[in-house]
Amino acid sequence: MSTRMPCLVLTLLLPVADIGADSLVIDSRRQWEQWQFPQGVIDLHEDGSVGLIRFHRNIDAVADARNFTHKNAAGNEVRGGISKAGSNPADAANILDADPETWWQPDPAADVDSWRIEIDLGRLVQASTIRLHFPDNDEAVPLREFTVLASEGTRQTIGKDLVLFSRVGGTTLPNEETLIEIQLTTVEPGNATGDHLVTTTDDTLTHMPVQYVRIVSQTKNPGGALADVEVIALGDNIGLGTIERGGTLRGGSNTQNITNLADGSASLWWSGRGRPIPWRESGHVVRVGPGSHLLGRLSGDARAILRLCDDGVPKFSADFLRVADIGWHTGSD
């Protein structure tokens, strides 16, 4: 079975008078920036050459976290990167540079509660693995006891940047390793508990929505340090920048806040409202082309990946739902 990837065709039009009898030469990025074209689809180089922006699978979302911004509760733009460092903030960015020869080392004189650091990925990603790299030399050694927490970034209180973290990994014995890998999953437990709880491979996903990662040391150890963090995600989200690229977003029952569907954040959402009748008549509909898969997050207590049939009809129905974000994760390796 063959796989067909989306094809992007870019057409640039010049008035004939501008070309004349000779060739038109563009030798700088600045010249291209005077043109009008869909944003986020072509890569402008300083020498005037142009290439297509590539979308990749299995990305490290930490590597380009500082390229993304989002709004905090006050409405201000916040750039991804280090969001908090309890100790030695001057060296905190060393865990983002993919360089094993640099590291963040908390102050040994600081209280153990300050031995923590937090990364903001700048946008919501579907993450499958978190990797922690530790130094081991005369100057720095691995953190011995720690906990790793993750959050998708949904605000728990309106108007405040208060998000809920879940433990996704950590030590049970003192750590001596320089590489720790944590596999992430999302389990849909259903409505049952205890002996009645049954899960299958169909409702356990090998990834989870993540925007923030926090590493908390449980104890202080001499020379304890962290060199790098990787967050491996399914791929680039081509849902980001949908409107800027000339795309469209349609809401069946509510068109307000519809752009929140493609903002890469779980803190803002689009709400679908309707009468207690089937979803089609209520307008609770999200349509994607045949064979597509829609990754999403239902706000509140319900978490889901929204899977679409090949005819574009959702496999779920509801009288009220809130969709915080959607993303199409595809691309070339």
- pLDDT for 306 equals 42
In tens, the pLDDT along 171-196 reads 999 999 999 999 999 876 555 556 65
Q: Does any domain span residue 27? A: yes
- pLDDT for 97 equals 96
Q: Does any domain span residue 308? A: yes
Residues 152 and 178 placed together within one structural domain of the fold: yes
Q: Does any domain span residue 14? A: yes
Q: Mean pLDDT lowest for which of 3-12, 103-112, 120-129, 228-237? A: 3-12
* End-to-end alpha carbon distance in the chain: 19
- pLDDT for 62 equals 98
Residues 42 and 68 placed together within one structural domain of the fold: no
3-class DSSP string for 47-72: CCCEEECCCEEEEECCCCHHHCEEEC
| Boundary-marking domain end, from 235, 268, 300 | 235
Query: Per-residue pLDDT for 253 more than 60?
Result: yes
Query: Per-residue pLDDT for 146 more than 60?
Result: yes
39: three-class secondary structure by DSSP:
coil
Q: What is the pTM of this model?
A: 0.75
- pLDDT for 91 equals 98
What is the average per-residue pLDDT within 32-52? 77
- Of residues 151, 150, 156, the one with CA closest to residue 182: 150
In tens, the pLDDT along 259-304 reads 777 788 888 777 665 555 555 565 555 543 322 333 333 333 323 3
Q: Does any domain span residue 80? A: yes
* Mean model confidence pLDDT for the chain: 76
| Boundary-marking domain end, from 38, 53, 68 | 53
d(CA 188, CA 182): 19
Find residue 51's DSSP bridge partners. 43
Q: Does any domain span residue 250? A: no
In the chain, pLDDT over 70 holds for what percent of residues?
65
Residues 99 and 152 placed together within one structural domain of the fold: yes
- pLDDT for 291 equals 26
Residues 28 and 129 placed together within one structural domain of the fold: no
Number of domains in the chain: 3
Secondary structure (DSSP) of 166-190: EEEEE-SS----SEEEEE--EE--T
Parent domain of 286: 258-327
Residues 81 and 202 placed together within one structural domain of the fold: yes
CATH of the domain at 225: 2.60.120.260
Residues 304 and 219 placed together within one structural domain of the fold: no
What is the average per-residue pLDDT within 114-132? 96
Query: Per-residue pLDDT for 307 more than 60?
Result: no
Token pair of 62, please?
A: 């930490």
